[in-house]
Structure 1
Amino acid sequence: MAKVKKPQRVTPRLPRGFVDREADDLRTQDKMLATIRRVYESYGFEPVETPVFEFTDALGKFLPDSDRPNEGVFSLQDDDEQWMSLRYDLTAPLARFVAENYETLPKPYRSYRAGYVFRNEKPGPGRFRQFMQFDADIVGAPNVSADAEMAMMMADTMEALGIPRGQYVIRVNNRKVLDGVLEAIGLGGEENAGRRLTVLRAIDKLDKFGVEGVRLLLGEGRKDESGDFTPGAGLDDAAIQRLLVSYVGTSFRIDDEEIREQSAKTGEPALLGNIAGEETYRDNRAIIGFWRNAVGESLVGTEGVNECSAIEELCRGAGYGPGRIEFSASVVRGLEYYTGPVFEAELLFDVVNEKGQKVQFGSVGGGGRYDGLVSRFMSQPVPATGFSIGVSRLMTALKNLGRLETSTRTGPVVVTVMDRDRMADYQAMATKLREALNPKDGNGEFLGPVVPVEVFQGNPKQFGKQLQYADRRNSPCVVIQGGDEKAAGKVQVKDLALGKEMSAEITDNAEWREARAGQELVDESEMIEAVTAILARQAGASRP
């Protein structure tokens, strides 16, 4: 007779680039999201939700990572053989939603949404394939006043989360300015579209590689520490020098003498900023003036400079001047659908990276104007602008600052089970406690924080296991009623925190059993009062 093979056990394993998240982190995240939501709603934004799957052609191909088999997204075919993809951001699905419901939505349409997005990219330290974003967008607003409002709202969000001024900055740039600068150095026209994109991605690496690293990426290319080589844009030395001095040098120190010479030629003030962190440059109007010279005769570049000037005036007039909102050449944004102003929220405090180096924390969100995204679905132009916060990265930043401590909630009051045949009695006790400890108003809304109450649902044979369970659940107290207590109309209420405290002072085992540390016998009618007293005592002890 053939031997029956035992079924192989499946090995529990987590796919690379994905993480499990437990209760404390989720509660902490909920607290942070509630703060962001209040800021967004104070600006008139309303929630909307779109599904995680969209038809692939509706999402479009805008991700910069093109060296993956399915181009940066996770895709599958449905029963109709139509390709669907997990969303890679929350903006492309919003564009589809607006186009599909355009006639019924108010214009401009203000919305916010939080949700997970998915990237089929190589995972690494701090780089995940699934992560949460929290977006706000205005669709149907053609004026840059909407972009200015986005930047101001992001500044308000940072401060509402407890990040003080001086430890964050909202940096602003304009893709039209970038296009104008590139046109001025001879990279205009469709034939140079690929090289322009390479230049933009090189400038986007300023914070990571510094000016010298960007200089290499603008030229023949750069070899990293591992020996991997990244091909460059192939610009000649004159074009690189003009780009770095007249544009990049307005925000970052490259060579003081070069900047002074450029200043003498243009009549603009010498802007000696830096990327080392000693002192950032904060003269927004002077930077915009430098950019005006950098774009030369380019019409699109001049339009972008004028938009930057308007945003600067609007922000400064509303009290969001330098120190909160600043203009910077470093803001490029990797997604290709941006068409005008772009911005990033950057945190300025130092952290230690995985290599043990002290670095600035950096960006926690960004966005910009994407006037062509909704129009892909329609026969008319639909202007739009928006901002996206990286939720997990922002949570990490807040914990580094001590502004968002891990949320540890008191565990449940546990009704123990002494007799399995009396489960109905135990459930009735739990119901009484649940209703008394969680009062509601006339509309059924809870009047305060919820106090959980549960009946132990494991194996009741070993009572010690029930207490161990309650302890692991961070329970404040347990309720005990055996047959004798039931016959006498009594109930035992055990304060677990007090029990631990008293047990630490008792060394004799017999004395400990006799003392029944932290435990009292009360009438059934006094059960709620006894539990309430324990909760109040523990709440008072936990206050600083």
Structure 2
Amino acid sequence: MSADKSAPAKLKARQPRGFVDRGPADVAATERMLAVIRGSFSLYGFDPVETPFVEYTDALGKFLPDQDRPNEGVFSFRDDDEQWLSLRYDLTAPLARHVAENFDALPKPYRGYQVGYVFRNEKPGPGRFRQFMQFDADIVGSSSVAADAEICMLAADTMEKLGIKRGDYVVKVNNRKVLDGVMDAAGIDRDARLTVLRAVDKADKFPLEEVGKLLRGGRKDESGDFTKGAGLSEAQAETILRYLAVGQRLAELGKSTASDSARSAELSAEAVTELRTLVEGAENGVAGIEELEQIRELVTAAGYLGRIIIDPSVVRGLEYYTGPVYEVELTFPVTNEDGQVVRFGSVAGGGRYDGLVGRFRPEPVPAAGFSIGVSRLYSALKAVKSPIVDQKNELPLVVVTAMDNKSPEFMPAYQAFVSQLRQAKDGQGRALCRADLYLGSSGFNAQMKYADRRGATCAIIQGSSEREAGTVVIKDLVLGAELAAAGRDVKDSAEHKERQAQAQFSVPVGELVAGVRRVIERHARA
């Protein structure tokens, strides 16, 4: 018999490129992480705000870094009134629109934070997605670099609250004005500056000699791929390399201990003097150095020196930054996809964007903020085994089996069991557990496999004999798995038999919650 050729073909289940699904463990761990970040930002006086995923395209502006598809960095479409709309590519541009639109109603300076997905129409690749989550904090209406220092301190405190130990991260600070001043003083053409910025951005990955190749004619990597350079003259390239060398010395000074403070201050003054020489004649460069010195004084007074350091290699890719820029780098080693041991790298960054809100207002509106890359930070927390992403922090799950699921008259009793468990509290008045009533049509063995697959701590069983006796069986699935894995030599031991009795026991229906609490507390102690 031939197949029915008229039957429609089945759809193929597939993800769009650059997008990912997340399972329950990742979602739950991310929510715990976000709760910690919210608490940290709230302590600094930031208030929550939420902006839509979609904005008018002209409100977002064209500030994305020039990457593989510089003219197609956003997902855009036309509305029915022929207006162009786009999915937001970050949270800063929508915040600027929100503040401008509600300017008179908001307190100034305004402190706001928001979390949400952003979208970039880029070529996807390893670790590079078209949808990802950001968590932003912004201060709008303050031109003082104290706002920049405050954000850097917030970033440091948030890392530690998330379980990143002091010494495993550093907040690096630079100023766009300084590098602009260096390029002005060196006479570097505007057309070459974007390539120079990209080369400078590689200073934390390559030796200065390799960066120099990117500043001059170009660089060939180990695979033979060639990257065209900025085409600077020898004198211009040497100026940029001197600038980076000063930055490296300043970065090391920032890590100095209190016992080295006198020598640190002396060397810092020498480094700043050299930076002033590099920007001589460039007014914006001198102003940038003064701002970096002010930030250094502020974070030193607050006790953050070493956690927050001056590093002129920090560039940041978005074009709307106008002054100080900052980046949170995790310094602990990890193994990359090629098996190489490398530093984890950046998980957050931001800076001052004094022109962004002012696009909507008749007067200039200064602003500064930073953004945490939530997915990348989540990977970092897993790498350092932060308790925040440990699944043990999740409420234990109890599965109530339905032995007689073919007989509707018994379901109300099973429903009563899960209701009791969902309302049960632990010793601190918090929820004791999550409870799941099996709603499928499979038999008992399949139901137990279901409970195992869901990672349940225990299962509740009531068949006809238990129903007649007014009891339920509580099966400790965690202990049962441990006993099953035990070697044969312990099967007949007294301890093993005692633990078997603990792994499956009966209680009166009225003691269901007490019995489940006993199992949960057993594993909480372990």
Hey, what does 1:471 align to over in structure 2? 452
Hey, what does 2:361 align to over in structure 1? 378
CA contact (8 A) 1:169 1:348 kept: yes
1:181 aligns with 2:182: yes
1:306 aligns with 2:290: yes
CA RMSD of aligned residues (A): 2.7
| 1:498 to 1:252, Cα distance in 2 relative to 1, 3 A | closer
CA contact (8 A) 2:421 2:434 kept: no
State the one-letter code of the partner of 1:532: R
> Deviation of residue 244 (structure 1)?
1.4
> Deviation of residue 331 (structure 1)?
0.5
CA contact (8 A) 2:64 2:70 kept: no
State the one-letter code of the partner of 1:425: A
> Deviation of residue 203 (structure 1)?
0.9
CA contact (8 A) 2:216 2:229 kept: yes
TM-score after normalising by structure 2: 0.88
**1:532 aligned residue (513, 517, 526):** 517
**1:248 aligned residue (235, 241, 244):** 244
> Deviation of residue 127 (structure 1)?
2.0
1:292 aligns with 2:293: no
Hey, what does 1:237 align to over in structure 2? 234
Give the match's secondary structure for 1:387: strand
Hey, what does 1:456 align to over in structure 2? 438
> Deviation of residue 534 (structure 1)?
2.2
> Deviation of residue 193 (structure 1)?
3.0
TM-score after normalising by structure 1: 0.85
> Deviation of residue 449 (structure 1)?
4.6
1:364 aligns with 2:365: no
CA contact (8 A) 2:432 2:517 kept: no
Q: What CA deviation, in whole Å up to 9, does each residue of 1:315-365 have, x standing for no partner?
A: 1122122x2221112101111000001111112222222222222222111
**1:350 aligned residue (333, 342, 361):** 333
CA contact (8 A) 1:65 1:71 kept: no
Identity %: 55
Question: Counterparts of 2:470 and 2:13 in 1: how far apart (Å)?
Answer: 48
User: Which consecutive residues of structure 1, in runs of 5 or more, have no partner in the other structure?
Assistant: 254-270, 275-280, 440-445
Give the match's secondary structure for 1:209: coil
1:390 aligns with 2:378: no
Hey, what does 1:262 align to over in structure 2? none
State the one-letter code of the partner of 1:417: A
Question: Counterparts of 1:5 and 1:286 in 2: how far apart (Å)?
Answer: 82
Q: What CA deviation, in whole Å up to 9, does each residue of 1:210-260 have, x standing for no partner?
A: 322322222233334444443332211111112212x1120248xxxxxxx
Hey, what does 1:263 align to over in structure 2? none
| 1:362 to 1:529, Cα distance in 2 relative to 1, 3 A | closer
> Deviation of residue 517 (structure 1)?
8.2
| 1:535 to 1:517, Cα distance in 2 relative to 1, 3 A | closer
**2:472 aligned residue (491, 494, 500):** 491
1:480 aligns with 2:461: yes
Question: Counterparts of 1:464 and 1:226 in 2: how far apart (Å)?
Answer: 55
| 1:57 to 1:382, Cα distance in 2 relative to 1, 3 A | same
Aligned length: 500
Give the match's secondary structure for 2:95: helix
Deviates more, 1:57-66 or 1:229-238: 229-238
> Deviation of residue 299 (structure 1)?
1.1
Hey, what does 1:402 align to over in structure 2? 385
| 1:39 to 1:500, Cα distance in 2 relative to 1, 3 A | closer
Give the match's secondary structure for 2:204: helix
CA contact (8 A) 1:73 1:120 kept: yes
CA contact (8 A) 1:410 1:476 kept: no
> Deviation of residue 157 (structure 1)?
1.8
1:341 aligns with 2:324: yes
CA contact (8 A) 1:184 1:294 kept: yes
CA contact (8 A) 1:17 1:130 kept: yes
CA contact (8 A) 2:425 2:431 kept: no
**1:521 aligned residue (480, 502, 506):** 506
**2:303 aligned residue (291, 311, 319):** 319
Q: What CA deviation, in whole Å up to 9, does each residue of 1:339-395 have, x standing for no partner?
A: 001111112222222222222222111110000001111111010000111122222
| 1:529 to 1:319, Cα distance in 2 relative to 1, 3 A | closer
CA contact (8 A) 1:110 1:138 kept: yes
Deviates more, 1:468-477 or 1:173-182: 468-477
> Deviation of residue 495 (structure 1)?
2.5
> Deviation of residue 67 (structure 1)?
4.2
Question: Counterparts of 1:3 and 1:459 in 2: how far apart (Å)?
Answer: 31
Hey, what does 1:423 align to over in structure 2? 411
CA contact (8 A) 2:424 2:432 kept: no
1:217 aligns with 2:217: no
Hey, what does 1:414 align to over in structure 2? 399
| 1:131 to 1:184, Cα distance in 2 relative to 1, 3 A | same
> Deviation of residue 507 (structure 1)?
7.4
| 1:447 to 1:223, Cα distance in 2 relative to 1, 3 A | same
Question: Counterparts of 1:157 and 1:89 in 2: how far apart (Å)?
Answer: 20
Hey, what does 1:207 align to over in structure 2? 204
Give the match's secondary structure for 1:235: coil
**2:423 aligned residue (435, 440, 446):** 435
Give the match's secondary structure for 1:208: coil
Deviates more, 1:481-490 or 1:373-382: 481-490
> Deviation of residue 502 (structure 1)?
5.1
> Deviation of residue 522 (structure 1)?
2.9
Deviates more, 1:66-75 or 1:467-476: 66-75
Hey, what does 1:169 align to over in structure 2? 170
Give the match's secondary structure for 1:494: strand
Question: Counterparts of 1:182 and 1:303 in 2: how far apart (Å)?
Answer: 14
Hey, what does 2:259 align to over in structure 1? none
| 1:498 to 1:332, Cα distance in 2 relative to 1, 3 A | closer
> Deviation of residue 295 (structure 1)?
0.4
Question: Counterparts of 1:426 and 1:272 in 2: how far apart (Å)?
Answer: 63
